């Protein structure tokens, strides 16, 4: 069963690294206020905004890497 180690728990088979990546992804997505609190009643709209936010995050990173 896949899992993420608990905060402060010993690092088991690199799960601490996975936890960092997941926390970083959530932090990047929460920069967009509309995603921090789910206002949309329809799941399709929320999914669309998450996809758009991921696209914008990737674009920013690529732009920073290749000026």
- Three-state SS at 7: coil
Strand positions, DSSP E, the chain? none
- Residue 58 pLDDT level (bands cut at 50, 70, 90): very high
Task: Report the Cα–Cα distance between both ends of the chain, in Å, rounded.
Answer: 41
Residue with tokens 């206020």: 33
pTM above 0.85, yes or no: no
- Residue 16 pLDDT level (bands cut at 50, 70, 90): low
Select the more confidently predicted residue: 18 or 29.
Answer: 29
Give the C-alpha separation, 22 to 17, whole Å.
Answer: 9
């Amino acid at each position: 069963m896949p899992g993420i180690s608990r905060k402060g728990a010993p690092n088991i088979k690199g799960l601490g690294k996975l936890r960092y990546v997941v926390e970083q992804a959530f932090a990047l997505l929460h920069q967009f206020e509309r995603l921090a609190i789910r206002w949309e009643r329809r799941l399709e709209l929320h999914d669309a905004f998450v996809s758009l936010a991921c696209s914008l995050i990737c674009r920013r990173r690529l732009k920073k890497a290749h000026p």
